[in-house]
Amino acid sequence: DTAVSQTPKYLVTQMGNDKSIKCEQNLGHDTMYWYKQDSKKFLKIMFSYNNKELIINETVPNRFSPKSPDKAHLNLHINSLELGDSAVYFCASSQRTATNEKLFFGSGTQLSVL
Amino acid sequence: GDSVTQMEGPVTLSEEAFLTINCTYTATGYPSLFWYVQYPGEGLQLLLKATKADDKGSNKGFEATYRKETTSFHLEKGSVQVSDSAVYFCALSGRGGGGSQGNLIFGKGTKLSVKP
């Protein structure tokens, strides 16, 4: 039933590890995103994919690599995790029509790097 | 570059009080403006939006008017409820504009707590 689902909900790991966060949307949307929300609730876009192609890639360390196997999935892989990567990561999707566009967010993955 | 500035929280109100959360923006061109709400433990949800000057967005008793002359989009509600407790984000459409929400630029969020 969940429109945009991401797993895991919580992720606790050690510095230097590699981890992945998965995201799936069942809304039939063409575009998916990853956002990062820091401890002060500041939310910033990281990546955007449209039909499996990268269209937005903000200034993000290349340790972060998004992968979109199909337009319903956008996974985020993070290599060599650092303390500063601790945050809540939100996946989102949207479908733009001639008259409207609405962004749907997942419930977030809280990443804690120790 | 484009940016959004919101009033700092937290904001604590009693039930049925009047709510205003200030939001001002800096942008080139004519962005669309949005308010998103994040309830505890959930992702963000679109609350309302306005796509051009003098438009008023409204939903669930919340309203905001796109004021180009003051570059503002303040959120208001006449009578808040405990269930309105959440974090509220003001946002504008970034480069590529045209109302596209994908490249949103968010404010830092304002936490609202409503007491019974």
Interface test with B, best of A30, A35, A41 (most B CBs within 10 A): A41
SS3 call for A102: coil
What local confidence, expressed as pLDDT, does residue B99 receive? Answer: 43
Residue A40: CA count within 13 A, CB half-sphere: 8
Q: What is the pLDDT of residues B59-68, one digit of tens each?
A: 999 999 999 9
Interface test with A, best of B6, B33, B34, B44 (most A CBs within 10 A): B44
* Nearest CB to B46 within list A41, A103, A106: A103
* Nearest CB to B46 within list A40, A96, A102: A102
On average, the pLDDT of chain B sits at 89
In this structure, what DSSP letter does residue A33 have?
Answer: E
What local confidence, expressed as pLDDT, does residue B104 receive? Answer: 82
B114: pLDDT strictly greater than 60: yes
Confidence of residue B102 (pLDDT cuts 50, 70, 90): low
Output phi, psi for B67, to 5 deg.
Answer: -110, 100
CA-CA distance, A84 to A104, in Å (whole number)?
26
SS3 call for A34: strand
Tokens at B70, concatenated: 């003051």
Decide if A107 and B41 are in contact by the 8 Å CB cutoff.
yes
Radius of gyration of chain B from its Cα atoms, rounded to whole angstroms: 13
CA-CA distance, A25 to A17, in Å (whole number)?
27
Instruction: Count the Cβ atoms, other than its own, within 10 Å of residue A10.
Output: 10
Confidence of residue B98 (pLDDT cuts 50, 70, 90): very low
Residues whose CB is less than 8 angstroms from the CB of residue B39 and which lie 6 or more positions away in sequence, other chains included: B45, B85, B86
* Averaged pLDDT, B2-13: 91
Residue A43, classified by CB atoms within 10 Å of its CB into exposed (0-12), middle (13-18) or buried (19+), is: buried
Decide if A107 and B106 are in contact by the 8 Å CB cutoff.
no
* Averaged pLDDT, B102-107: 79
Rounded to a whole number of angstroms, the distance from the CA of A106 to the nearest CA of chain B is: 5
Per-residue pLDDT of chain A (114 residues; tens, 9 = 90+): 668 999 999 999 999 999 999 999 999 998 899 999 988 778 888 988 888 788 777 778 889 999 999 989 999 999 999 999 999 999 999 887 655 667 889 999 999 999
Task: Count Cβ–Cβ pairs < 8 Å, chain A vs chain B.
Answer: 53
- On the question of a cis peptide bond just before residue A66, with omega within 30 degrees of 0, the verdict is no
Say if residues B80 and B65 touch (Cβ distance below 8 Å).
no
Decide if B43 and A90 are in contact by the 8 Å CB cutoff.
yes
Rounded to a whole number of angstroms, the distance from the CA of B91 to the nearest CA of chain A is: 10
* Averaged pLDDT, B93-114: 73
At B3, the amino acid letter reads S
Q: In this predicted structure, which of A44-48, A53-57, B25-29, B87-91 has the lowest mean pLDDT? A: A53-57
What local confidence, expressed as pLDDT, does residue B62 receive? Answer: 97
Say if residues A93 and A104 touch (Cβ distance below 8 Å).
yes
CA-CA distance, B57 to A107, in Å (whole number)?
25
In this structure, what DSSP letter does residue B9 have?
Answer: S
Q: What is the pLDDT of residues B32-78, one digit of tens each?
A: 899 999 998 888 899 999 988 999 999 999 999 999 999 999 999 99
